[in-house]
Amino acid sequence: MKTSQSSLTTANAIWEQLSQLDRKTLAQLFAADEARVSKMSQRLEFDLGEAGPMGIFLDWSKTHLGDGELSAFEELAKVMGFDAAREALFSGGIVNPTEGRPATHGAMRGSGTEADVEEADQLLRRMGMLVEAIHQGALGEVKHLIHIGIGGSALGPQLAVDALTRDLALVDVHVVSNIDGLALEQAFAACDPETTLIAVASKTFTTTETMTNATSALKWLSDNKVDDPSGRVIALTASPEKAVEWGVDETRVLPFPESVGGRYSLWSSIGFPLALAVGMEEFTAFLAGAQGIDTHFREAEGRANGPLLAAFGDLYYSRLRGCQTRAVFAYDERLGLFPDYLQQLEMESNGKSVTSSGEPVDGPTASITWGGVGTDAQHAVFQLLHQGTHLIPVDFIASIAPGDELDPAHHKALLANCFAQGAALMAGGNMSADGKDPARGFAGDRPSATILVDDLDAATLGALIAFHEHRVFAGAVLMGINPFDQFGVELGKKMAKEVESGEGDFDASTKALMEAAGLG
Ligand code: F6P
């Protein structure tokens, strides 16, 4: 996925052309084209077989992308080799050149080469067998699972379990990531050691936080006189030999391929807590939903491709409108962790300063992703969105079907608020009696996009995550960067070890802090 110098030169010319286009307000864009909504939105419908039908409506009409911008971005996609990169992603090509690896998370859900999909099926069958065996009592009574992992090995399971087990969880799952012992203590307090399993989730099986927490969890089991503590541990990893070396019996090691990146690993055995909590049938539906989006992403061209269109919008705001952040608000309690999940996916993938060939990038890369849950966020941070000095593109996500069984008035109000916020950000106005009080004025012309799903079930959650994975990938291709490495986390990790051991050359400020805390 390296981009040639001549392509980069042509790309620069397209960026120049984009920056010269006449800027229209949202109101002007709507006024100029009666068909704007139908042109800039689409309903994706999928028949997922056993997982049932799935519908997702994508509305990008309240963004500043006009015909001129869209044509230029489509040209940019051509010049940056989007078609070839997309093909490489699904056909096992080296899309992670700095580590010389393909990125085969798609294969985990059936989108990849025959060999990769066959390997993924085998690994998931193995996971399914263990899940079934646990449900049938092979490891005794199991009421709780403490899932230990961090970053990509924690955020996905945490999001998915939280989103999909509001009605019923077959096993009560606690995800622990932080090295702060308090996190693990809280999980211990909520679990009965006799009926608890420990999942140690680490692609590398070396991450300090995870291995420290895993050791303490094992000690907790033996301190509580649980028979055969290590027999209660399941390892989810791309380094099975390290898990065995650490003491996990091979039968309870669930491997996944090295070519599946940490923040893309929820589809693999890292999804074990979800499978255990909702059952394999639901987990399969989760994969099927993601595969539906894979198919759309592989087949749709240009602006008709949902994730690619979203990436056009992301780049438009970060590179042409100086937006340093983008916000995501889920109008659904079940998606409360979605903004956090996207934060890692987008910022760890595309927070880069050099191109895939090692040259400095020509413009800003990933925006800072942040957000929250509606309607709560309306009473906390929307003030700035409406009246602050920053221009922040917003994504709204909501479900037509309610997640609750209370009076339908709840859901009606939830959706009404979601749609009203997008409309208000765009329309602006003045709330004072004479319409002139500056403190009560709203500039308007503030962009948003809306993703409206028919229902939030396992398949749709899979689709939402896959949509954003491809949005990130498409953005990376357009910027010429590698979304699949994360060297930016390494320096801090190395220096934390040095601070802990006191072996290293530190600046005066750090030395003073270490001294104050008695470290080193
Ligand atoms: O520190 C960043 C990171 O490497 C993430 O990319 C990864 O998901 C996380 O740490 C955990 O790594 P592992 O799964 O190897 O424990």
pLDDT (average), residues 441-447: 97
- Is the pLDDT at 51 greater than 80? The verdict is yes
Give the pLDDT score at 104. Answer: 98
Residues 181 and 39 reside in one and the same domain: no
Cα of 212 to ligand 1 centre, how many Å? Answer: 14
Assess if residue 294 is contained within a domain. Answer: no
pLDDT confidence tier of residue 415, bands split at 50, 70 and 90: very high
Residues 330 and 272 reside in one and the same domain: no
- Is the pLDDT at 4 greater than 90? The verdict is no
Residue 242, judged by CB atoms within 10 A of its CB (0-12, 13-18, 19+), counts as middle
- Is the pLDDT at 3 greater than 90? The verdict is no
Q: What is the pLDDT of residues 206-242, one digit of tens each?
A: 999 999 999 999 999 999 999 999 999 999 999 999 9
Residues 168 and 77 reside in one and the same domain: no
Across the chain, mean pLDDT equals: 97
Q: What is the pLDDT of residues 339-358, one digit of tens each?
A: 999 999 999 999 999 999 99
**Contact yes or no for 442/451 (Cβ under 8 A):** no
Query: Is 266 a pocket residue for ligand 1 (Cβ < 6 Å)?
Result: no
Q: What is the pLDDT of residues 375-405, one digit of tens each?
A: 999 999 999 999 999 999 999 999 999 999 9
Cα of 149 to ligand 1 centre, how many Å? Answer: 8
Q: If DSSP states are collapsed to H, E and C, what string results for 308-365?
A: HHHHHHHHHHHHHCCCCEEEEEEECHHHCCHHHHHHHHHHHHHCCCECCCCCECCCCC
pLDDT confidence tier of residue 321, bands split at 50, 70 and 90: very high
Which residue's alpha carbon is at the smallest distance from atom 6 of ligand 1? 262
Per the annotation, the verdict on 379 as an active-site residue is: yes
Which residue's alpha carbon is at the smallest distance from atom 1 of ligand 1? 489
Query: Is 261 a pocket residue for ligand 1 (Cβ < 6 Å)?
Result: no
Residues with Cβ within 8 Å of residue 440, at least 6 apart in sequence? 430, 431, 432
- Of the residues 50, 379, 405, 503, only one is catalytic, namely 379
Residues 395 and 267 reside in one and the same domain: no
- Is the pLDDT at 1 greater than 70? The verdict is no
Residues 204 and 279 reside in one and the same domain: yes
Q: What is the pLDDT of residues 86-129, one digit of tens each?
A: 999 999 999 999 999 999 999 999 999 999 999 999 999 999 99
Query: Is 486 a pocket residue for ligand 1 (Cβ < 6 Å)?
Result: yes
- Is the pLDDT at 143 greater than 80? The verdict is yes
Query: Is 263 a pocket residue for ligand 1 (Cβ < 6 Å)?
Result: yes
- What is the pTM assigned to this prediction? 0.97
Query: Is 151 a pocket residue for ligand 1 (Cβ < 6 Å)?
Result: yes
Give the pLDDT score at 377. Answer: 98
Instruction: State the complex-level ipTM.
Output: 0.98
Residues 461 and 388 reside in one and the same domain: yes
Q: Could you tell me the residue range of the domain that residue 512 belongs to?
A: 490-517
Residues 24 and 11 reside in one and the same domain: yes
Exposure b/e, 280-305, CB count within 10 A at least 16 = b: bebbbbbbbbbbbbbebbeebebbeb
Assess if residue 187 is contained within a domain. Answer: yes
- Is the pLDDT at 374 greater than 80? The verdict is yes
